[in-house]
Chains A and B, each alone.
Chain A
Amino acid sequence: MKHVINVLVENEFGVLSRIASLFSGRGFNIESLTVAETEDSSVSSMTIVTEGADHIIEQITKQLNKLINVIKVVELSEAVQMAREMVLLKFSINGGPKRVELLSLIEIYQGRVLELGPRSLIVEMTGERAKIEAALEVLGPFGIKEMSRTGLVALARECGK
């Protein structure tokens, strides 16, 4: 089962490497990892998506907590997570009915066209992971030339907990 873990760390060099080496050294799996500064520039936030049985996830959170530069570790259960992922897609497509069809599908998935050229198209799409997966399935047949995904970013919900 997939788990989303939010980690607040001191914004110092080497911290990302400590986290990564903890996962690799102990044989834990990282599906995605995003990291950026928070509102406090001395603190960075990481969202890690990982997979494993409950006792593995418990070890992961404990081991993360044990790192000196880690300030806080929160495992976000599905019920409380507000999670989003962004993807940039490049299509190689000429004008014509196929392009019209593609543009209408992009609209359905609330994608935004960032660049429209005579033979290419760059699209931005944001959403829950399931939505991104669904969009990729539908848009795939149009020939995705390049793709860049952010991995998940997440926060705990405040309402309806």
Chain B
Amino acid sequence: MRKLSGAQILLEVLQEQGVEVIFGYPGGAVINLYDHLPDYSCRHILVRHEQAAVHAADGYARATGKTGVALVTSGPGATNTVTGLATANMDSIPLVVFTGQVPTPLIGNDAFQEADIVGITRPCTKHNYLVKKIEDLERIVNEAFHIAGSGRPGPVLIDLPKDIIAGQWVKKKSVQPLLKGYNPTYAGHAGQIQRAMQVLFKARRPLFYVGGGVILANAASELTELACRLNMPVTTTLMGLGAFPEDDYLSLGMLGMHGTYRANMAVTGSDVLVAFGARFDDRVTGRIDKFAPDAKVIHVDIDPTSISKNVTVDIPIVGDLSDVLRKMLAVVKSSPEAAELCAAGHDEWLKKIANWRDQHRLSYEQDDVIKPQFVVEKISQLTRGQDPIISTEVGQNQMWAAQFFTFTRPRTWLTSGGLGTMGYGLPAAMGAQVAFPGRLVIDIAGDGSIQMNSQELATVVQYNLPVKVIILNNGYLGMVRQWQELFFAKHYSSTQMNHAPDFVKLAEAYGALGLRARTPAEVEPVLLQAFSHPGPVVVDVVVAAEENVYPMVPAGEAISNMLLV
């Protein structure tokens, strides 16, 4: 049989895996791979920083549900992927990241551009590999895609020594990987599901608490159907936004530290709380012993380690969300009377929730300076019906986007939830735009975090990715400033961004369109101009400098203990 180089074997396997695009950055250790890359159908997007390659692959993965792929060189190329990997790992995003490595005989010699990237990334990947023999290459690449995309998804890194990709070997026919120690549970236990449904049917103050797992499992429609059939109020986490339509009367919006008043009060008052693909993160629970204190907790998750990690669970169900939800729907359909009684049995509870909503809606006061919430609300209104994809940076911009944009569909929201990575939004938007060139992709940014990966404006211009970056420019690292205001007697230590570039000129320097809005009246026309422009745009919106995100639960407090506007 004809022998191929390691580089060719790898690229053929990528082709078999259906990889359409690689986000990457070349270097000495992967030069052989780049030499063969143009011979294959897979597209390559040359980013400007390796961190952005991983975030872009991550944005692509979140928007499409496919596994994102990044390729970088050894040493600093590899170490620059760490933040991207940790981001994807915390949010369970399927990625396969290839790093170059020095040739195997040099490993451990402190060779030029050598880094022990497998050692460095062990705790922030789902799994990782160093390919030591070319005969293992094909198997490892197939295993990596299998591991990344199955079970609870996550990033997998493959370290490729230069002599492996330059070596010669015969490519075999790819076979389904067989892993002794990896066998995720997909089928939910029927008995546990039955038990859970009986408890749910009898609940008087039930609540669905929905996390990103529902989106990862492509189970949003099943979840929505179950909630609607049983008349269940639904609150979503930051990661779960889009899993349930927020314009439905059953939606309570987001819960947690910056959740809505009604969502947090409903959690606290619930008698049965059903967590779907959520992990009881500290930003959701606040003080743990005051979290849903009267509720029986039912927890559905594909990852057994998530269950009873932070909160004791009464009825655990391990399984794939779409399998479990389908089985729950089957129970509902086979017991129509119980289901009807259930749906009609908590009107009072829904009234109470409506009351909480009317007491404290998400709100802000618009005066003659632009309020950041107003900008997000405008973006939401102006893009309704266009199925936009929203990415964010991290901090106040992220929370306002989560609160004031009305999410109705899954995979339209890209945000670094677990790790909270500033600089995520622009490269993630770029990745999503590569997947969906015709859709409106908007990065809601802050003036601080946009500067963490603004070099990617060059990439979006080079590939004409018409990403819209909307900077809510308040001249501060706003979320930290907010904490300093509230808890450190306004001691604004190092949170004032005294010197920032002129973002309009910055956009123009990269060849993008730069726009600015200074008054509330300018917001709508400027946004409309940005959205209708065929190329990438940066909009600098000068917003109120010291606006705060409310409601807010101070760290470590009960979530019913909210600072309101």
Contacts and interface: CB of A to CB of B under 8 A. Distances in A.
Given A14-B118, A17-B119, A59 B182 contact: no
B179 interface: yes
Contacts of B309: 59
B122 interface: yes
B352 interface: no
Interface stretch (A67-75, A105-113, A128-136): A67-75
B191 interface: no
Interface in B281-327: 303-305, 308-309, 312
Contacts of A22: 123
Contacts of A21: 122-123
B336 interface: no
B438 interface: no
B361 to A, nearest CB: 39
B385 interface: no
Contacts of A25: 123
Nearest to A60: B305
B213 to A, nearest CB: 15
Given A17-B122, A18-B122, A21-B123, A62 B305 contact: yes
Nearest to B309: A59
Nearest to B126: A68
A25 B126 CA distance: 14
Contacts of A9: 181
Contacts of B49: none
Nearest to B307: A62
Contact of B181 (A55, A62, A71): A71
B127 interface: yes
B303 A68 contact: no
B186 to A, nearest CB: 16
B181 A67 contact: yes
A65 interface: yes
B324 to A, nearest CB: 19
B180 A71 contact: yes
Contact of A68 (B182, B308, B312): B182
Given A14-B118, A18-B122, A25-B123, A66 B303 contact: yes
Contacts of B180: 10, 71
Nearest to A9: B181
Interface in B129-148: 130, 147
B499 to A, nearest CB: 38
Interface of B: 118-119, 122-123, 126-127, 130, 147, 179-182, 303-305, 308-309, 312
30 contacts: A9-B181, A10-B180, A10-B181, A14-B118, A14-B119, A14-B122, A14-B130, A17-B119, A17-B122, A21-B123, A22-B123, A25-B123, A55-B308, A55-B312, A58-B308, A59-B305, A59-B309, A62-B305, A63-B305, A65-B304, A66-B303, A66-B305, A67-B181, A68-B126, A68-B127, A68-B147, A68-B179, A68-B181, A70-B181, A71-B180
Closest 6 pairs (CB-CB, A-B): A62-B305, A68-B127, A71-B181, A71-B180, A68-B182, A70-B181
